[in-house]
Structure 1
Amino acid sequence: MSLSNRARGAVLGVGVALLSLSAVGQSLPPGVTPGMLSQLKSMSPAQQQALARQYGINLPAGATASADVPGLAAPGTVLPTPMGMTQGDIEAATPDKTEEVETRARTRYGRALFSRDVSTFAPTDDAPVPESYRLGVGDQLIVQLFGKENAQLDLQIGRSGDVTFPKLGSITLSGLTFEDARDLINTRVEQQLIGVDAIVSMGRLRAINVFMAGEVSVPGAYSVSAMTTVTQALFQAGGVTDIGSLRNIQVRRAGSVVATFDTYDLLMKGDVSDDIRLQSGDVVFVPPYTGVIDVEGELKRPMVYELAGGETMGDVLAMAGSFTRDAYPALSILTRQSDSLGLPQATTIDLSDTSQLSLAALDGDTLKVPKVGSLVANSVSLKGAVTRPGSYGWISGMRVSDLIGNARRDLSRDADLGLAMIVRQKNALLDIEVIAFDLASVIARPNTDDDPSLKEFDEVLVFSLVTSDLTDADADASRQGLLAPVIEKLSSQARQGEPVQTVSVSGAVRSPGTYPLLAGATVETLVNAAGGLTDSAFLQAAELRRLTEASDGQVIADYRDISLASGRSGSQTTLASRDHLTIRNIPDWSPTDSITVAGEVKFPGEYRIRKGETLSEVIDRAGGFTDNGSPESAVFTRETVAAQEAERAAQFARDIQTTFATRLLTEETTTQGMAEISQIVASLQSVEGAGRLLIDLPAAMSGDTNADLEVEDGDRIVIPVLSNTVSVVGEVKRQGTHSFQGELTLDDYIDLSAGFTRRADDGGIYIVKANGSVVTLERNLWRFTGN
């Protein structure tokens, strides 16, 4: 029956792929005649590539169907990969399976055995030969003769199955075990060579041809050592594919399955009894796996496991290494595909019950073993600024003093001995309540009413002391960190008729934030919980905001001022849910603001300043100038100005980077100057601003309010010693410093420096005055005044 032109073209396309990927000895597919292959071979490489592309076959560059079909490789080597492709090329050309299969195969237990990242394969050429090794054509024996004759003979079994032994003739060895062959040679030598003894050992082993088929990474014919086992052959073939079975690897010999190898026996039990040695002509066949189960959670080896068929949950647990110590097997979750629902269905099973272990494991199952809860029965916990935080055993009648009985022994050095808290579960819904107590009273008067009793699951919170008016960041973080889960729980348990039991405070307290609403809590209680007031707190009028619900359901905010001053009742105001307390700061409070006065003043040093204080007032407080002082040359620096200068330099650096990058992208410049640009940018980014602010100090001291600026925290003023000198720098022939003489003009000082150089711009002369100001001028119109 003749093929149509279209069918013939399709067969030719398939033929191109077959010729590019076939191994020696493979027969032609049905319908592909030698004439078709001859037609393929007669095509040019370009025609072959075009034909392959027409039928969806991607041939690597340079791969064509040539007339020369490669033969078997030399004994002991692996057959070459078709068309010069690397193993990676073949793997890259292999179509991906479904995403689900790929995900599972990546994590399937046993796949790492054939990982190419960490190769554990070693050749078998030097492996010791067992006594039971059966000799065949190509095996080499080494016979060492000694005694009457001394010689070493290298005997190779020929195609007829025998070796030629000098003086003994032909000896048939093929088919014998190594032990039998050795005994035979020793007997013949003893009988026929009187006075000669022999030592027989194995030399080079013969090569055998095996075929790797099915789901192996690189299927095909391989020439391997006669000692090669199933696993070693799989290593040479690159292992199994993503869907290849690791538990049903078959060895087929003369059309029959002679052995089945399960790699799990090797990996989990160390059993290699089924890892048999291959014989020439064997086919190692790897079928697709038939089932997997995904094991998650608290097991020693949570992975995806292949099912060979017939496994139970007990078998799966054994494969996964059994439970971890944190496992809670009684509430294990088995997720299984439901045929009736068409959706996965979750079932709770008790894996601590032996009867549940006989449940069959099916393909697609997911088994998850949960973790035990963090709650420990008959326990209380101690947290915060203590030396030994953690869980402790609870007994009836236990008090806080049983956990904290000695301040030096049980508390951290920064522990707040004032307010501490107990967080207690109050009902079956695990709602909590917070109980406050005075820690100092517990230590001073244990086992009294000041020493609260503890209940099972109580948490005792001890806060760190915030010692500075400027909030101690670590202590504040510790306090808020301890309270964060408490506040979250209180917020989540709020219900209709049970408003959230929290209050908040901001402003002049050491640790502002949200706090639990304690039973009977007052404003004073909240302030103590927040670490106390800062020195800047304005006690006369703190603001309390309270939210109330009107009859129409709207929430109304009510604001009122309360006094926290001693003897006033404001501190005892009872708090309600969601109250917010604002502690104002004393107006213009700046107790640490200061300015540094240095140089030629009578009392140099650091001076505290008040808001609105002027520079002249600070100089007066410093005793005024000394006789050697030069107020005209005063150097005044300000931290805010320095920060602005540094920011301008950084912005300039960013502008340079942006401009250079834009030019690179538009090819307006090259990368040759990149190193220099980077150095400039780095220099600009590291600039620290000088912060100098030009002032007219004599005018300020004489009462000029415009010149007498207000000082700020961090300012610094230096009054230098009066210097009667004039320095001339730049493009003059002799730069230098000259004694000030009032009658000399600008040109006079230039003449004292030997005049201009040829490069000088005599129209661009400028003078830097002693106070840092710059003056540009016309020559011959300036006379120095000594400033």
Structure 2
Amino acid sequence: MNLKNSHPRLGVHPVVYLFAFIVLTGAMSAFAPGGVCAQELTPEMLRAASQQTGLSEAELRQRYAQQGGTAAADTVAKAEEPGRTELADIDDSRPWRDTNVQVQLPMDPAQDDSTGLDDLEDDFAAEEGFFGEEFFALDAGMFTPPSFGPVPGDYRLGVGDEIIINVWGGVDLQLTRVVDRDGAVLLPQVGKIVCVGRTLAEVDDAVRERLAITHASIGLDDRDPREGADTFVEVTLGHLRGIRVFVVGEAMRPGSYELSSVSTVLTALYMAGGPSTTGSFRSINLVRGNEVVATLDIYQYLTGGSRQGDARLREGDTVFINNRGPAVHISGGVRRPMHYEMLAGETMADLVGYAGGFLPTAAPEVIHVNRILPVGARQSGQPDHILLDVPFDPSTGLTVDGQPMNLLDGDVILVDDIGDRLEGWVEIVGSVKRPGRYQFTDGMTSLDLVTAAGGLWPDALTERAVIDRTSPDGAYSSLSVPLADTEAGVPLQSQDVLEVFSRWEIQTRPQVHITGEVFTGMTLDYREGMTLRDLVLKAGGLKASADLLRAEISRTRLDAVTSQDRNVRPTQTVEIIAVPLGDDFLTRDESLLLAPYDRVAIRRLPWWEMQHTITITGEVFYPGVFSLERRDETLSSLVRRAGGLRPDAYPIGARVIRTQDNVGNIAIDLAKALDEPGSQYDVVLQDGDTLLIPDRMFTVKVVGEVGFPTSLVWEDGLKIDDYVNRAGGYLEKSDKGKSRVVYPNGMSLPNKGGSKVVAGSTIIVPIEPPPTGKTTTETIRDITGIVASLAMVWLVIDTAAR
């Protein structure tokens, strides 16, 4: 199957495109509740389907509901005006569509898992297409002429046109009639008036003349008014008739279309999606009665607005799109680089015009042409492509020898661009008011450039600036120049870059630091006149834990650290200054002046600390959060403050979880801690500890390499092996010697001599690790090899001895 031919932009009738989605629609309807399609219609989906099918959004909703069984089609109301014919059912505001097709809306992006058509569209859009293709990618309805309103002066009425007769003055009357199949309209007391083939002005005269017979107050016209005529007649057009035309040849969607009677060739092309990938944009024929009555060149319309050949259509006309003619491609320095279809006799000048002309950066003096040799010019053993460099004069559109540059089918044209190199400039960067590039003039100096840049900022370093110079041959050099005390400046060259430094770019600003009992410890740039109080305030103020009697400033002794004496090491490079802050620290007038590089430390009160808390949960009378009374408070003290253990408490399973230093679970013996307060079992608690005291337990859990891992009822006196046997026994790959019991408080004991098992314990039987080193088979193989080697050596010795 040719995928390109199935693409919605590549010549497929809407019926084919819509049928491709019918199966998916049925599947969605079948799985939706009540047989209704479960997909929700969105405006984006409706717009996409409308562009692909030519149906209106209202028709899409109606047909989509019919497929889901939720709505019935609305019947078209018949016109009830007198004289109306069956042509009233024709809606010629839209093109003809196949009304029997099934409608499948595009899937919602969140529901659509298929990417076939989308991938084709992406691939097609990614290719550099032909000039004119995008013109037909717009919604066809945007170019549909109205089905009512003014018409050209040469418009001739036909069957189905609606005329409106307005009479006012001595008689007030309005009649609406449709030209019937006999080509006439029927008026009361007047009879039939033939309209077919007449212009609107001719019909107006005929109606006025016939009405004047029965109404004496109606004048025939302004030039021959009747005496006493005070009634006026006007004939206008209402709803225009529909015509059926055919679009065939290399069209995207060839077929029959119903259009308004004022439609033109372009209207039919829009409806059919324009020429296909093999269709011509330059030769589109209007065929009427087996004769070509007009030929449309779309390029003339797109590039010059000329609609020559865009003739008005008539009933039964055929728009025939010919095969695409010779095509060339142009790229480089033109405004619209793409493929173009060329007519016989068109030259490079025509192509450049279609491409929008040369860009300002183009270098059209020499145009490169990659040409496919004609069949008659090809030679055996020689390439079939040649590269031509054609000298071109853009002012005349001819070659330099005055000849037009003819093009051949398949030519690939490249227009070079000029280089990016820029000359005649100098640049200034850094601490100036307006840094940037400036025009270089002969005799220009560094002072001239600084003046052009608005002068130096106050922080500019005037002692030295640097010129980065690039010579005409591309070599780099650097030149140091002063900016102060110079009247003439240093001569500059083209492409010089003058860099003016700020003083603070080449030296570090001194800083001060504050740490300790302030809300935000920080490092700040030192400022002249900064005091200790200023720094404390910038740090957010003092905490309640600050010792107001002691602040410490460590000050660098600049005379010592800047000493040049290499023979004597400074005995002291830092001076420690103790400063009592006092309660009136913020209110008193004086405050210690800081020096560059000072470090301020606000000390903490010696015994300041907040409450330390622990949490007790489980079987106590008052579980919750408790504050430690002292730093050495123990388990027994905490349990006593919590009201003691409840009757159902299980002390054997009690444990402590410690968050400090990520200690984790601590296995304790709560019973002994309560019986022997202050003993080694009575653990000292820490801030953040959690004491868990569980309820009574009655089971033992067996896991690992046993026949059936399970939980068993605890029985006093049973050992590890007893519980394992009740769980199916040890498996073949179990490591019996490594089995162990874990008590509910987290303590673990190995299975040696049958360790005691308490309620709530977990017995773990691990799998035996794989053996390390060589297996028995590998050892026997190695020994056999050694014996065989010894036997061979013995045989050789024995043979030599004989």
Q: Aligning the two structures, in what range does the TM-score lie when normalised by the shorter sequence?
A: 0.5 to 0.7
1: CA distance, partners of 2:192 / 2:657:
117
The alpha carbon displacement at 1:226 in A equals 0.9
Between 1:377-386 and 1:228-237, the stretch displaced more is 377-386
Mapping 1:426-441, distance limit 5 Å? 426=472, 430-438=473-481, 441=482
Indicate conservation of the 8 Å contact 1:766/1:776, yes or no. yes
CA distance in structure 1 between the partners assigned to 2:370 and 2:157 by the alignment:
54
Q: In the alignment, which residue of structure 1 is the partner of 2:256?
A: 221
SS in 2 for 1:329: strand
Distance 1:754 1:468, change over 3 A: farther
2:678 corresponds in structure 1 to 782
Cα 1:88–1:318 change in 2 (3 A) is farther
Contact 2:361–2:417 at 8 Å: present in 1 too?
yes
SS state at 1:729 partner: strand
2:349 aligned residue? 314
Q: Paired residue for 1:329?
A: 364
The 3 A distance-change label for structure 1 pair 383 and 319 is farther
Task: Give the deviation of 1:119 after TM superposition.
Answer: 6.0
Change (3 A) 1:198 1:407: closer
Determine the C-alpha separation between the residues in 1 that align with 2:431 and 2:288. Answer: 75
Q: Contact 2:655 / 2:667 at 8 angstroms: preserved in 1?
A: yes
CA contact (8 A) 1:334 1:349 kept: no
Which of 183, 197, 204 is 1:161 aligned to?
183
Distance 2:554 2:645 in 1: 48
In 2, the alpha carbon distance for the partners of 1:786 and 1:601 equals: 32
For 1:721, which of 602, 607, 620 is the aligned residue? 607
Matched, 1:280 2:315: yes
Q: How much has 1:431 moved relative to structure 2? A: 3.3
**Deviation of residue 126 (structure 1)?**
2.6
Q: Following the alignment from structure 2 to structure 1, what is the Cα–Cα distance between the partners of residues 309 and 659?
A: 99
Paired AA for residue 476 in structure 2: E
**TM-score (ref. length: structure 2):** 0.51
Tell me, yes or no, if the aligned pair for 2:434 and 2:453 is still in contact at 8 Å: no
Alignment map for 1:309-388 (pairs within 5 Å): 309-339=344-374, 340=378, 341-352=383-394, 354=396, 355-356=398-399, 358-383=404-429, 386-388=432-434
1:244 and 1:86 map into 2 onto residues whose CA distance is 28
Offset, 1:304:
3.2
Residue number in structure 2 paired with 1:63: none
For 1:46-195, list aligned pairs within 5 A: 74=90, 76=92, 78-81=95-98, 84=101, 107-116=129-138, 120-146=142-168, 149-195=171-217
Q: Secondary structure of the equivalent of 1:311?
A: coil
Secondary structure at the counterpart of residue 209 of structure 1: strand
Q: For 2:301, what is the secondary structure of its paired residue?
A: helix
2:492 counterpart (454, 469, 473): 454
Separation in structure 1 between the aligned mates of residue 160 and residue 504 of structure 2, nearest angstrom = 88
Deviation track 1:272-291 (CA, whole Å, cap 9, x = no partner) reads 34322100111011123213
Structure 1 window deviating more from structure 2 (327-336 vs 270-279): it is: 327-336
Describe the superposition over 1:725-770 as per-residue Cα deviations: whole angstroms up to 9, x where unpaired.
Answer: 886631343354464599x974244223312357866453549799
Decide whether aligned partners of structure 1 residues 369 and 219 sit closer, same or farther in structure 2, where only a CA change above 3 A counts. Answer: same
Shift in Å, 1:237: 1.7
The Cα shift of 1:242 comes to 2.5
TM-score, normalised with respect to structure 1: 0.52
Q: What displacement does 1:216 show?
A: 1.7
The residue type equivalent to 2:233 in the other structure is A
Deviation at 1:254, TM superposition (A): 0.8
d(CA) in 2 for partners of 1:261, 1:759 = 101
Secondary structure of 1:274's partner? coil
Q: SS of the counterpart of 2:234?
A: strand
Question: 1:138, 1:207 within 8 Å by CA — same for their partners in 2?
Answer: yes
Distance 1:394 1:736 in 2: 81
Q: Distance in 1 between matches of 2:427 and 2:609?
A: 73
**Distance in 2 between the 1:757 and 1:247 partners?**
100
Structure 2 distance, partners of 1:107, 1:388, is 47
**Residues 102-136 of structure 1: CA deviation (Å, up to 9, x unaligned):** 67985322222222469632442034122311112
Q: Report deviation, 1:187.
A: 1.7
Aligned to 1:444: 485
Contact preservation (8 Å) 1:379, 1:394: yes
2:455 match = 409
Distance in 2 separating the partners of 1:150 and 1:108:
58
Mapped contact 1:137–1:161 kept (Cα < 8 A): yes
Change (3 A) 1:748 1:132: closer
Q: Partners of 1:364 and 1:338 in 2: how far apart?
A: 9
Q: Supply the distance in 2 between the matched residues of 1:365 and 1:104 (Cα, whole angstroms).
A: 21
1:337 maps to amino acid: I
User: Aligned partners of 1:431 and 1:397: how far apart in 2?
Assistant: 21
1:436 maps to amino acid: L
SS of aligned partner of 1:247: strand
Q: Does the alignment pair 1:747 with 2:788?
A: no
Distance 1:159 1:753, change over 3 A: closer
* Mapped partners of 2:659, 2:116: distance in 1: 80
CA contact (8 A) 1:139 1:205 kept: yes
1:471-521, Cα deviation, whole Å (9 max, x unpaired): 9xxxxxxxxxxxxxxxxxxxxxxxxxxxxxxxxxxxxxxxxxxxxxxxxxx
Using the alignment, how far apart are the partners of 1:470 and 1:288 within structure 2? 77
Q: CA deviation at 1:601?
A: 11
Contact 1:724 1:739 (C-alpha < 8 Å) held by counterparts: no
Instruction: Give the Cα–Cα distance (whole angstroms) in 2 for the partners of residues 260 and 720 of structure 1.
Output: 103
Q: Does 1:422 align with 2:465?
A: no
Give the paired residue count: 492
Judging changes above 3 Å, is the alpha-carbon distance between structure 1 residues 234 and 103 closer, same or farther for their aligned structure 2 residues? same
CA contact under 8 A between 2:326 and 2:408: conserved in structure 1? yes
Cα distance between partner residues in 1 of 2:285 and 2:404:
28
Look up the equivalent residue of 2:644 and give its one-letter code: G
AA matched with 1:352 = P
Q: Secondary structure of 1:369's partner?
A: strand
In the alignment, the residues of structure 2 paired with residue 384 and residue 334 of structure 1 have an alpha-carbon distance, to the nearest angstrom, of 49
Instruction: Show the counterpart of 1:646.
Output: none
Report the residue type matching 1:333 in the other structure: H
Of 266, 273, 283, the residue aligned with 2:301 is 266
**Which string of whole-angstrom CA distances, capped at 9 and with x for unpartnered residues, describes residues 42-81 of structure 1?**
xxxxxxxxxxxxxxxxxxxxxxxxxxxxxx9956364333
Q: Distance in 2 between matches of 1:601 and 1:93?
A: 78
Which deviations, in whole Å up to 9, do the C-alpha atoms of 1:420-479 show, x marking residues without a partner? Answer: 1332225xxx331313213xx1443243xxx543334444455677748899xxxxxxxx
* CA offsets 1:218-258 (integer angstroms, 9 cap, x no match): 11111221111111112222222233222222111111110
Q: Which residue is 1:501 aligned to?
A: none
**2:621 matches 1:733:** yes
Counterpart of 1:153 in 2: which secondary structure? strand
1:345 deviation in Å?
1.5
Q: For 1:755 and 1:432, locate their aligned partners in 2 and report how far apart those are by CA, in whole Å.
A: 90
Gaps of 5+ in 1: 1-16, 22-71, 472-595, 610-620, 624-712
Cα distance between partner residues in 1 of 2:273 and 2:634: 94
Q: How does 1:499-578 map to 2 (within 5 A)?
A: none
Structure 2 residues not aligned, in runs of 5+: 1-11, 17-86, 107-114, 219-231, 510-542, 557-575, 579-598, 687-802
Superposition deviation, residue 371 in structure 1: 3.3
Task: State the match for 1:210 in structure 2.
Answer: 245
Provide the secondary structure at the position in 1 that maps to 2:279. Answer: coil
Contact 1:425/1:431 (CA < 8 Å) preserved in 2? yes
Equivalent residue runs for 1:689-728 within 5 Å: 721=607
Using a 3 Å threshold, how does the CA distance of structure 1 residues 600 and 316 change in structure 2: closer, same or farther? same
Contact 1:337/1:345 (<8 A) preserved? no
Amino acid across the alignment from 1:107: G
Q: Quick one: which amino acid aligns to residue 350 of structure 1?
A: F
